[in-house]
């Protein structure tokens, strides 16, 4: 007669088998996203890795730069891009039907802590604030920063683009714009709200009114060449889950769900 192993031993053996099986199935998933998603994605990665055993390697860049990387065929399993993205779809490097709008984020205004917060409740109030400011900083649109492109259009909409030129100090990304504000080099900083609240030494005033600044959407795709399609699909699903939505809200974004 064969002796049955003690229950505790059988339980440990089962746990060891499960751990080994998960380790075998674990994959590294590569992700690329614009800088406006950085704070939220970095908060979400540990939860995904803990739940699935997969590892995530994330790369962040400008909105335009990210689209160029994806359209050019750089090997990212889960690309996140900002509309419009006809070149991304035309490239054939993403699964078009996998598109998920993860979140949207508005361009916001920042000041230093203790500084008086200006009124930005209406387009006219924003115009007055900008004309009264001695200096402002925002991401350089020439580098493909979506927040910079958006705010440049806002200045044109307000009809003050030429008047503001002497006051503008362009920065290489939202974090750099906030750093310039924190150091006291400018009076007002502008970038995506998600980048404002993640930077030290600055304080968010709030988002610009929709009449002059449309929030930017962030859309996730599955790569058409994902090395591990199932792991990539799991990450995209996690990034569009209720758990992720709560993180987006806490990061100053509007969930896409």
Encoding tokens for residue 241? Answer: 């889950």
200, 182 in Cβ contact below 8 A? Answer: yes
Task: Report the sign of the C-alpha dihedral through residues 67, 71, 75, 76, in that order.
Answer: positive
Q: What is the pLDDT of residue 248?
A: 97
Q: What is the pLDDT of residue 143?
A: 87
63 CB burial (10 A radius; 0-12, 13-18, 19+): buried
Instruction: List, for residues 142-180, the tens digit of each pLDDT value.
Output: 988 999 999 999 999 999 999 999 999 999 999 999 999
Fold observed for domain 27-104+217-255: D-Maltodextrin-Binding Protein; domain 2 (3.40.190)
pTM of model > 0.85? no
CATH number of 107-207: 3.40.190.10
Residue range(s) occupied by CATH 3.40.190.10 in the chain: 27-104+217-255, 107-207
Over the chain (257 residues), what is each successive 10-residue block's mean pLDDT?
Answer: 50 42 68 94 97 96 94 96 96 97 97 97 98 98 94 98 98 96 98 94 97 97 96 98 96 90
111, 118 in Cβ contact below 8 A? Answer: yes
């Amino acid at each position: 007669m064969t002796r049955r192993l003690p229950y505790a031993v059988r339980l440990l053996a089962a746990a060891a088998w499960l751990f080994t099986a998960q380790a075998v199935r674990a994959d590294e998933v590569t992700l690329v996203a614009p800088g406006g998603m950085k704070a939220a994605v970095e908060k979400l990665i540990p939860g995904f890795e803990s739940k699935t055993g997969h590892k995530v390697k994330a790369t962040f860049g400008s909105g335009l730069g990210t689209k160029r990387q994806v359209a050019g065929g750089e090997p990212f399993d889960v690309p996140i891009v900002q509309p419009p993205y006809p070149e991304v779809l035309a490239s054939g490097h993403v699964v078009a039907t996998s598109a998920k709008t993860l979140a949207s984020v508005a361009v916001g205004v920042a000041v230093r802590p203790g500084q008086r917060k200006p009124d930005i409740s209406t387009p006219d109030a924003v115009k007055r604030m900008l004309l009264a400011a001695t200096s402002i900083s925002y991401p350089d649109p020439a580098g493909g920063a979506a927040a910079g492109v958006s705010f440049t259009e806002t200045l044109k909409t307000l009809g003050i683009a030429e008047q503001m030129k002497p006051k503008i100090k362009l920065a290489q990304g939202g974090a750099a714009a906030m750093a310039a504000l924190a150091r006291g080099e400018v009076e007002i900083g502008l970038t995506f709200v998600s980048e404002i609240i993640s930077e030290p030494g600055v304080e968010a005033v709030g988002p610009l009114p929709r009449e002059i600044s449309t929030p930017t959407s962030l859309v996730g795709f599955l790569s058409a060449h994902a090395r591990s399609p199932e792991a990539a699909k799991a990450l995209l699903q996690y990034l569009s889950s209720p758990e992720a939505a709560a993180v987006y809200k806490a990061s100053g974004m509007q969930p896409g769900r």
